Chains A and B, each alone.
Chain A
Amino acid sequence: MSKLNKLFKNLKIKKKSAFCGFVTSGDPNYASSKAIMKEMTKHCHIIEAGQSFSTSTSDSPIIMEANDRAIKSGMNMTKTFKLIKEVIKETNNDTCFVIMTYLNPIVVYGVKKFIKSSASIGIAGVIIVDNNLNSPEEKILLNGLSKKGIGYTKIISPTNSEKFIQQSIKNTKNSFIYITTYAGLTGSKNVNLNNVKKLVYKVKKYSKNMPTGVGFGIKTPKQVKQVSKYADVVICGSNIVNKIKEGHERRLSAPKLAKFVAKYVKQLSESTK
């Protein structure tokens, strides 16, 4: 059974939602990012690690700044794999690591090599923001990752058509489908609970057992609690990244920065139902 499916099975028994924290891999630098991720594994069922791409077409200015910090510190796909590998080895817990990125870093790294590296390191899932449902790369990645038991997540938003949602459910394997709470950029607006209810209902209508991950604009423990009533995974990103920025600007050392960020992550995580 895939890592993510195992997680969902366990949480189902406990009737609990998973908490997923997003960080940009290598933000603000390798050492601090590693310390932050290690600390976050204590509170996150899933860590979504963003492999930065300078020409991202979907991230808010907060994430764009994080991407710039990571790129300036020399991050690339090889280093992201190395970082996650070290975190997994040094923490030895069940936290699932999901890589979120754009297609270009994968194409440049090599699609087949990406699948191989993900499997050997123990990556639980992959999200590629700009991979079209019908692109040739979609088939290769979906089949390749599925064969290795790695989850593949598609994103849907409140403005997508029924046909698009159905196809996205079909292309989501061994993982959760990512529902955005509004149509816009990450972290740019507030959660729209009505959208969440409607989309979760739609997904469950087409695929009863498809786990739902809900993200975009979830910033407070209260919002985490509200969303976790409907979602199998609650995803928080922009505000965690903001904490990293704040701590980095205060020149906190890597261990102190990790504790500072984790304190906030803990508050969010404990609010899941």
Chain B
Amino acid sequence: MVIKKRSVIALLLVLSLALLLVGCGGEKQPAGDSAAPEAQGEKMKVGFIYVGPPGDAGYTYAHDQGRKYLEEHLPYVETKFMESVPEGAASESYIQQFVQEGCDVIFTTSFGYMDSTIKVAERNKDVVFLHCSGYKTAENVGNYFGRMYQARYLTGIVAGKQTKSNLIGYVAAHPIPEVIRGINAFTLGVRSVNPEAKVKVVWTNTWYDPVKEKDAAKALLDDGCDVIAQHQDTPGPQQAAEEKGVYGVGYNSDMSKMAPKAVLTSAVWNWGPYYVETVKAVKEGTWKSGSYWGGLKEGVVGLAPYGPMVAEETKQLVEAKKQEIIAGKWDVFTGPIKDQDGKTKVAEGEKLTDSEILEMNWFVEGVIGTIPKKK
């Protein structure tokens, strides 16, 4: 009996220690929590819900950089975040918790939080919610995302110029419009400078599995590809390219540190300025609900610095296209564009609308691969 009690206590101890450490890892300690706010008056509280750990060196990392940028640029803001929050209905209680803790603005940064965000927002009209990558809005819920496809197109130009085998591998995540759109934009970029080149696609059905994603890149490399692009959050595919002595294009954040000899550039998110602008607007009372879809022009997406192997000529080509997009003279999905079977999808002079871009479920000409059919 005594032994049993002791063991229960010991177990509880370890469990609580474990939870404590998980908690420590996750929660941000606001600097000078107890002393500072009183001195400067009430601070504005901004909460962030993350789908992964900020340490993923990818998607969540980029959001977290944005959070830090926000804290640096608006001294009256105090931020909190919760990491690795499950998507779907389970996320509701986490979002509610931030409301309880007195957050004025809450950013929910992944697609799967959409319905929970709307639900919590209905109950808490005095809090502003911003949901990333979804399509629902409400009076106090806005959504936001970036035109990553514009940056993808530019990286395509770089890859198309670099390839010698005219075969480029694309390690794709899940078969959803966001990923398909990226592959298409990238391929259009590649073929704008190198019409002979083709882009081979392999699906991993993961967002975050360094081993599996590296394996997928290896398969593409064995198949003759000499540039590897990717959509997942880990640098696994870039490391595979580095080991093979060929090139790669990173995603989410600058991946050149992980594979310095391979990474040509990376298509990156830059959330900081958007977060500052939005929180400022809320503070000043000028914020209105809506859908924000910023691109190169707004600086939400961009390219990481080039690797030393990228030629000057390529950089100029990219710069020219970039300026065209920023000026609004041209966008990526402007015709003529053919699909995989050679059928014209977008006629010359036409342009896909935003909703067509958001629902894209077909590959452009030059992509080798199939989109798994939904039953």
Partners in one complex: no
Q: Interface of A with B (CB < 8 Å)?
A: none
Q: Interface of B with A (CB < 8 Å)?
A: none
